[in-house]
Amino acid sequence: MDLYTTLSENNLLPQTILVTGAAGFIGFHLCKRLLAQGHRVVGLDNMSNYGADLKYARLKVLGILRSQAEHFDTISSSETHNEMFQFMRLNLQDRQALPKLFETHQFDTVCNFAAQAGVRYSIENPEAYIDSNVSGFLNILECCRHHKVPRLVYASSSSVYGNNESVPYEETTTVDQPISLYAATKKSNELMAHSYSHLYAIETIGLRFFTVYGPWGRPDMALFLFTEAILNNQPIKVFNAGNLSRDFTYIDDVIDGVETIVLKPSKGKETYKVYNIGNSQPISLLDFIDTIEKSTGKTAQRIMMPMQAGDVSQAWANVEHLKTDYDYQPTTTLDVGVDAFVKWYKSYYCK
């Protein structure tokens, strides 16, 4: 049975989908899933310097060589997926190259997962966040508007909740007090999307991600940093003396949810939606470290540190709306997810 037949039997037709941030953690996994389901994918990424080698390695899995991905504004076809996956290195805020891409391809859906990520780095380099997360997002909205793209799915963040003490976080919670510029840019994305949905009837769906982890994960995330340090007998920094909790969500569960949102018709007539996408089971930082120690078979050297500027003490998602509308159901336990990451890390870095 071919992929087209499989799609047809599920009342789905092959789509042409733009994925920005295609060399990033979530974007890469989404591209893999969409391609496996028989959809045509165009990927964009600016290949920023942070974690660049890992980004190029992710693209190689998708059939794009480094020699192809290094050049700006040049579209390349995958060596493994041919024309079904094409990639272009592009700054999201480029107001000439991005509209030209939309003119060339009629996208059924745009998935905007490109962003300058990370809370702490936004304190050091705020301009990068405005360029990518605000100016770049406006460029995406304008391209969707002028080229009649019916649906935009975009990455927001649990960071918009700030230090809200009412948990679990619900989408109806007021999020007017961001405590980092990163969070402020994500809140601005939701406001901008709302205005474009209202003015131009573009369906926009914002996803507030909660601490996504797993194989091929970002080098600045706690799981990567802790695993690297523990395996190399280096100390780890434990902020706020470990009195933190996060809603750790495994990448496969996240992609299950995103895939359903991207491919299936929405319920209801609202053109603007925002969903939490998490595991709905907060884990303390100390329990998280214990799980990594178990998986690596080594004990961490812990340096207790004060709370970092811009960090929040807890994050916990209520995902009932996503369950109701899209049957979202995360199933991966922390020990299984961490073990999968550690195995990947060893296979990639400890050859």
| Other beta carbons less than 10 A from residue 194's beta carbon | 16
Single-letter amino acid, residue 64? I
**Max avg pLDDT among 113-117, 269-273, 311-315, 334-338:** 334-338
Q: Which two tokens stand for residue 185?
A: 């840019």
Average pLDDT over residues 249-278: 93
Phi-psi region of 327 (alpha: psi -120 to 50; beta: other; left: phi over 0): left
For residue 312, name the pLDDT band (cuts at 50, 70, 90): low
What's the pLDDT at 225?
95
Q: Flag whether pLDDT at 344 surpasses 80.
A: yes
For residue 281, name the pLDDT band (cuts at 50, 70, 90): confident
Residue 247's SS3 state is coil
Instruction: List pLDDT tens digits, range 181-214.
Output: 989 999 999 999 999 999 999 999 999 999 999 9
Average pLDDT over residues 216-242: 90
Half-sphere exposure of 90 (CA within 13 A, CB side): 30
213 is catalytic: no
Domain-wise residue ranges, the chain: 3-212+249-280+316-331
Q: Flag whether pLDDT at 25 surpasses 60.
A: yes
Architecture of domain 3-212+249-280+316-331: 3-Layer(aba) Sandwich (3.40)
What's the pLDDT at 268?
75
**Angle CA(9)–CA(11)–CA(15) in degrees, nearest 5?**
110
What's the pLDDT at 4?
42
Q: Flag whether pLDDT at 8 surpasses 50.
A: no
CA dist 219 and 57 (Å) reads 13
Q: Which two tokens stand for residue 208?
A: 């507030």
Q: Flag whether pLDDT at 296 surpasses 60.
A: yes
What's the pLDDT at 313?
63
pTM: 0.92
**Angle CA(327)–CA(330)–CA(334) in degrees, nearest 5?**
175
Which residues lie below 8 Å from residue 289, measured CB to CB, with a gap of 6+?
226, 236, 238, 242, 300, 302
For residue 267, name the pLDDT band (cuts at 50, 70, 90): confident
Average pLDDT, the chain: 91
Catalytic residue chosen out of the listed positions 129, 182, 213, 328: 182
| DSSP tag of 271 | S
Among 117-121, 159-163, 233-237, 347-351, the least confident range: 117-121
Instruction: List pLDDT tens digits, range 137-172.
Output: 999 999 999 999 999 999 999 999 988 878 788 999
CA dist 40 and 107 (Å) reads 10
What's the pLDDT at 6?
42
Among 76-80, 113-117, 170-174, 265-269, the least confident range: 265-269
Instruction: List pLDDT tens digits, range 111-130.
Output: 999 987 766 666 777 888 89
For residue 9, name the pLDDT band (cuts at 50, 70, 90): very low
Average pLDDT over residues 286-297: 95
Q: Flag whether pLDDT at 335 surpasses 50.
A: yes
Whole-number percent of the chain with pLDDT over 90 = 72
